[in-house]
A and B are shown apart, each in its own frame.
Chain A
Amino acid sequence: MTTPSAYVPLWCKSNGSFLEGASHPEELVEQAASFGLRAVAITDRDGVYGIVRAHVKAKELGVQLLVGAQVTVEAEEPPTAGARPSTIVLIAQDRKGYAQICRLLTAGRLRKPKGESAVTWREVCEHANGLLALWGGDASLLVREPDPREPDPDEVAGCLREAFGDRLYAMVARHRRDVEVVEEARLRARASRHGMPIVAAVETLYHSRDRRALQDVMTCIRFGVTVHSAGTRLKPNAEHALLDPEAFAALFADDPDAVARTQEIAARCDFSLGQIRYRYPAERVPGGLTSSSWLRQLSYEGIRKRYGEADRVPVKVADQLEKELVLIEELDYDGYFLTMHDIVRFCQERSILCQGRGSAANSVVCYALGVTSVDPMRIDLLFERFLSKERDEPPDIDLDVMHERREEVIQHIYQKYGRSHAAMVANVVRYQPRSAVRDVGKALGLPETTVDRVAKLLSHYAKMTDEALRQAGLDPASPIHRHLLQLTGEILQAPRHLSIHPGGFLLGHEPVHDLVPIENATMADRTVIQWDKDDVEAVGLFKVDILGLGALTQLDLAYRLIAEHRGEQLSTATIPEGDQATYDMICRAETVGIFQIESRAQMSMLPRLQPKYYYDLVVEISIVRPGPISGGMVHPYLRRRSGEEEVTYPHPCLEPVLRKTLGVPLFQEQVMRLAIVAADYTPGEADQLRRDMAAWRRSGRLERHRERLISRMQAKGIAPEFAERVFQQIQGFGEYGFPESHAASFALISYASAYLRCHYPAEFVCALLNAQPMGFYSIATIVEDAKRMGVEMRPVDVHRSAWDSTLESIAAAPTPAEQTAVPSIPAERSGSGESSLVESAPSRRFAVRMGLRVVKGFGEGDGTRLTAARDFAPFTSLADVARRTGLDKGAMATLAEAGAFEPLGLSRRSALWEVPGAVDDARVPLELSGAEDPPAFLPLEGGETIAWDYRSSSHSVRGHPLEPLRPMLERQGLPDARTVRALPSGTRVRYAGLVICRQRPATASNVTFMTLEDETGFVNLVLWERVFQEFSVLARTASWLGVTGTVESKQNVVHVIADELWVPRGLGSPAHAGSRDFH
Chain B
Amino acid sequence: MDQLACVDVAALPLQLLLQTHPDWVRLPVAVVEDDRPQALVLFLNERARRAGVSVGHRYAAALALAPDLQAEAVPRSRIDECVRALANSLRRYSPDVEPSTCTPGLFWLDASGLNRLYPSLHAWASAVRLEMQRAGMRATVAVGVSRFGTYALTKCHQGMTICLDAGEERAAVDRVPITALDLDPDARDRLLALGIETVGAFLRLPSDAIRQRLGATADAVYQLAAGRRWAPLVPAPPEERHEQQLDFDSPETNTERVLFVVKRVIDAFVARLALETLAIVDLALDLTLDDRTTRVEWVRPAAPTLDAVQLVTLVRLRLDALRLSAGIVVLRVRADTCRATSQQLHLLPQSRRDPSAADQACARLRAELGSEAVVAARLCDAHMPGAKFVWERFDHMPAVAAARVVAARPLVRRIYTTPLPAEGLEESIKRGPYVVSGGWWRGGLRRDYYFAESGEGHLWWMYYDHRKKRFFLQGDVE
Contacts and interface: CB of A to CB of B under 8 A. Distances in A.
B278 to A, nearest CB: 37
A236 B383 contact: yes
A473 B438 contact: no
B16 to A, nearest CB: 17
Q: Which 7 A-B pairs have the closest CB atoms?
A: A231-B381, A178-B434, A236-B383, A938-B195, A237-B435, A176-B435, A452-B37
Given A913-B213, A1036-B67, A1037-B67, A449 B72 contact: yes
Nearest to B450: A178
Contacts of A483: 440-441
Given A227-B441, A449-B59, A473-B68, 5 more contacts: A176-B433, A176-B435, A236-B437, A480-B441, A917-B212
Interface string B184-219: 000000100111000000001110010011000000
Contacts of A227: 441
A811 B439 CA distance: 77
Interface in B431-449: 431, 433-438, 440-443, 446, 449
B165 interface: no
Nearest to B411: A182
B60 interface: yes
Contacts of B194: 909, 912-913, 937
Nearest to A951: B193
Contact of B436 (A237, A452, A913): A237
Contacts, number: 109
Interface of B: 27, 32, 35-37, 39, 52, 59-60, 63-64, 67-72, 190, 193-195, 204-206, 209, 212-213, 380-383, 406-407, 431, 433-438, 440-443, 446, 449
A232 B383 contact: yes
Contacts of A938: 195
Nearest to A452: B37
Interface in A531-549: none
A326 interface: no
Contact of A452 (B59, B383, B433): B59
Interface in A917-931: 917, 920
B437 A456 contact: no
B35 A447 contact: yes
A448 B32 CA distance: 12
Contact of A917 (B68, B190, B209, B436): B209
Contacts of B438: 216, 234, 236-237
Identify whether the interface residues of B are mostly helix, strand, loop, or mixed: mixed
A1033 B27 CA distance: 13
A917 B206 CA distance: 13
Q: Which of A178, A234, A917, A938 has the most CB of B within 10 A?
A: A178
A457 B213 CA distance: 40
Given A227-B441, A912-B190, A232 B381 contact: yes
Given A237-B436, A449-B37, A449-B72, A457 B209 contact: no
A839 interface: no
A416 interface: no
A238 interface: yes
B67 A1033 contact: yes
A177 B382 contact: no
A224 interface: no
A1069 B52 contact: yes
B412 to A, nearest CB: 14
Interface in A224-268: 227-228, 231-234, 236-239
Contact of A920 (B212, B382, B442): B212
Contacts of A932: 206, 209
A687 interface: no
Contact of B441 (A444, A473, A897): A444
A302 to B, nearest CB: 53
B69 A909 contact: no
Interface in A439-493: 444-445, 447-449, 452-453, 456-457, 471-473, 479-480, 483
B57 to A, nearest CB: 13
B63 A935 contact: no
A967 interface: no
A178 B213 contact: no
Q: Which of A231, A238, A447, A448 has the most CB of B within 10 A?
A: A448
B53 to A, nearest CB: 12
A181 interface: yes
Contacts of A212: 440
23 contacts: A177-B435, A213-B440, A213-B441, A216-B438, A231-B380, A231-B381, A232-B381, A236-B435, A236-B436, A236-B437, A236-B438, A238-B435, A448-B36, A449-B39, A449-B72, A453-B63, A453-B67, A471-B68, A479-B441, A479-B443, A935-B206, A937-B194, A1036-B67
A177 B385 CA distance: 12
A564 B172 CA distance: 63
A146 interface: yes
B443 to A, nearest CB: 8
A56 B72 CA distance: 49
Contacts of B431: 181
Contact of A238 (B63, B437, B442): B437
Interface string A1019-1046: 0000000000000010011000000000
Contacts of B205: 935
Contacts of A935: 204-206
A223 to B, nearest CB: 12
A330 interface: no
Contacts of B59: 449, 452
Nearest to B30: A449
A232 B69 contact: no
A912 B189 CA distance: 12
Contacts of B37: 448-449, 452
Interface in A197-213: 212-213
Contact of B382 (A232, A456, A1033): A232
Contacts of B204: 935
Q: Which of A916, A920, A1069 has the most CB of B within 10 A?
A: A916
Contacts of B380: 231
Nearest to A948: B193
Contacts of A471: 68
Contacts of A234: 383, 438
A239 B435 contact: yes
A703 interface: no
Nearest to B410: A182
Given A457-B67, A913-B194, A932-B206, A449 B35 contact: yes
Interface in A921-968: 932, 935, 937-938
Nearest to A457: B67
A145 interface: yes
A537 to B, nearest CB: 37
Interface string A134-178: 000000000001100000000000000000000000000000111
A90 B63 CA distance: 49
B71 A909 contact: no
A559 to B, nearest CB: 39
A483 B68 CA distance: 22
Contacts of A473: 27, 68, 70
A456 B64 contact: yes
Nearest to A227: B441
A897 B189 CA distance: 12
Contacts of B36: 448-449
Nearest to B444: A213
Contacts of A239: 435
Q: Which of B52, B72, B406, B434 has the most CB of A within 10 A?
A: B434
A937 B64 CA distance: 33
Nearest to B439: A227
A732 to B, nearest CB: 36
B262 to A, nearest CB: 44
A431 to B, nearest CB: 18
Contacts of A233: 381
Contacts of B72: 447, 449
Contacts of A177: 434-435
A738 B438 CA distance: 49
